[in-house]
Amino acid sequence: MVEELIEVRGQLFELTTLADIVKCITLRGLDFEVADFEIAKSTDLPSWIQLRLRAGTEDDLRGCLEHITQLGAHVVDARDARTEKVEADGILPDDAYALTGLPTEVRASGTWLSVPDPLPLAAIRVDHGQRAVAVPLERVKKGDRVVVRSEGVRVSPTPPERESELLGLLGTSMPVMRPHGPAIARVAREVQRTRAAGKRVVFVAGPAVIHTGAGVYLEQLLRGGQIDLLIATNSMAVYDVESSLYGTSRGLYLRESLAAPQGAQNMVHALNAIRAAGGLQPAVERGTLAGGVFHACLSAKAPFLLIGSVHDEAALPDSLTDTARAREALRTALEGTGLALMVAEASLAKAVIQALPGPVPKVYVDTSDYDVNKLVTRGAPSVFALVDSAESFLRELARNLGAW
């Protein structure tokens, strides 16, 4: 019989954390008793509870600790975190600790160091025992010292920011059969609050933005300077150009709902036209491209990042085709982001969730309950997801922000 004393801190609000931990201990077949606790008289003050955990074997105990540490428990009598040296660039030691995305501290030389910007699944590098940094697997360098296993690491489930308009929405998904107006109004106010606080609003857009005819709303938001960075797929940009040049999106007329089975010729011609021009900027300069989302970006000098996919017909000169480099570009471009709005593009949304510190609030909009729930799970607890069409969401958002 081995045992360990663990502690969970937090506000009464967050008692789900404790419930989860207790459930996890019980499901793993371990036993515990309450050793000590303090429950604060009021909601502002933290409460805490200590549990004495008992297991039959050291392995069971370590396994359980590994698990509940992810959930927010930490060992009371903590030792310093163990670190190991990285032997080669981009390769971690076995058992390297991977961040959950939640606010995390690591114990070094007897002190708890906070890890700023906790990127989900990144390793923790400890510099000179004095500074902790989140480092994605691809960025670790030979010689770095990174934390292994979960000893000396503590995670605190974030209390939602009190002043955020998204409070109460984060961590949930709103099904289609609910009134969306009030939720979109909150998202709009969060856009304003974020920008007022000097942080950046990032917009992620998939092809559905163009296919549904929602490009016009995004265009107005960009022209009004309400979006600081646009991240899109190569194909979204191609369809945007196609709709400017021909009024179609993958061969279907946007002004006409008729199913016009014209094939995708226009798409190829649009793609080819930008390739021939040497890119979106030169195409605008030559007058080839005179409208649409990317014309708005270039006019408003809003930066954008275009990312290619294997299923593209071909890449625009502006698109990053190497996915590893695109990931790196994302990490850099996303610094200083205070809010991410992501519409109908699950692959890029996942990439952005990974490249943003866990606590940054994120909104995901898509039409499938399944995709939307998956994103909430992946980005918990900082994602709010809405089952809605790109067109319906963007129209209401633009209205709420005075852009339409």
Interface with a second copy, residue 281, by CB under 8 A? no
DSSP string, 127-163: ETTTEEEEE-GGG--TT-EEEESSTTEEE-PPPPPTT
Binding part of the chain for a second copy, among 76-84, 248-256, 294-302, 335-343 by CB under 8 A, reads 248-256
Interface with a second copy, residue 375, by CB under 8 A? no
Do the Cβ atoms of 391 and 398 come closer than 8 Å? Answer: no
Interface with a second copy, residue 94, by CB under 8 A? yes
Do the Cβ atoms of 81 and 106 come closer than 8 Å? Answer: yes
Tell which one of 218, 221, 230, 348 touches a second copy (CB under 8 A). Answer: 348
**Interface residues for a second copy in 165-224 (CB under 8 A)?**
168-169, 172, 174-183, 186, 208, 211-213
Binding part of the chain for a second copy, among 23-31, 196-204, 221-229, 293-301 by CB under 8 A, reads 23-31
Q: Which is nearer to a second copy, 149 or 193 (CB)?
A: 149
Q: Which is nearer to a second copy, 93 or 338 (CB)?
A: 93
Separation CA 247–CA 281 (nearest Å):
20
Interface with a second copy, residue 326, by CB under 8 A? yes
Distances (CA, A) of 39 to 18, 49, 155: 13, 8, 20
Distances (CA, A) of 235 to 41, 156, 270, 345: 56, 40, 11, 11
Interface with a second copy, residue 115, by CB under 8 A? no
**Minimal distance, residue 279 CB to a second copy, in Å:** 12
**Minimal distance, residue 131 CB to a second copy, in Å:** 22
What single DSSP character describes residue 92?
P
Interface with a second copy, residue 308, by CB under 8 A? yes
**Minimal distance, residue 239 CB to a second copy, in Å:** 11
Interface with a second copy, residue 74, by CB under 8 A? no
Do the Cβ atoms of 86 and 66 come closer than 8 Å? Answer: no
Residue bearing tokens 């997801």: 385
